[in-house]
Amino acid sequence: MGSLSLPRLYILDTGLINFPNQQGRIVSCNTDGSDLRTIFDNMSTMPDGIAIHNNYMYWTNMGPTFKSNDGSIERSRLDGSERTTIVESGIIGVHTPKQITIAPKSGKIYCACFYWEHGAG
């Protein structure tokens, strides 16, 4: 008989308590709060949104500033392996990605972006 794994929570901590020197992290724990594991830490890219789909986690990085086109989207396996950037910073139309979701059937990624234009007309 195969073993059943307990469901886990995946938590993205933006690290805003240390603004402007924030160091975000992604942690995981059992649903009762036990077995806390750090998946990624020292994330200086202002991580903001997280979604889980097909044993992968996807997250947005707003970038070090709100005024530059320096956000990105990354993904990895739930254990932190196979980390890769799937939307590089500087891509036109992806200014400062924030919340993220994955469509269950199609697997398409949707994210909300923040755009800062100081002093615009």
For the segment(s) 8-113, the CATH number from 2.60.220.10, 2.120.10.30, 2.160.10.10, 3.20.20.70 is 2.120.10.30
More reliable by pLDDT, 102 or 4 = 102
Query: Which residues are registered as beta bridge partners of 24?
Result: 43
Instruction: Give the residue among 88, 11, 16 at the shortest CA–CA distance from 51.
Output: 11
Give residue-wise pLDDT tens across range 59-88: 998 887 666 777 889 999 999 999 999 988
Can you tell me whether residue 95 is helix, strand or coil? coil
Classify the phi-psi angles of 62: left when phi > 0, otherwise alpha if psi is within -120 to 50, otherwise beta.
alpha
> Which distant-in-sequence residues (6+ apart) come within 8 Å of 14 by Cβ?
22, 24, 46, 47, 48
pTM: 0.82
| Sequence ranges of the domains in the chain | 8-113
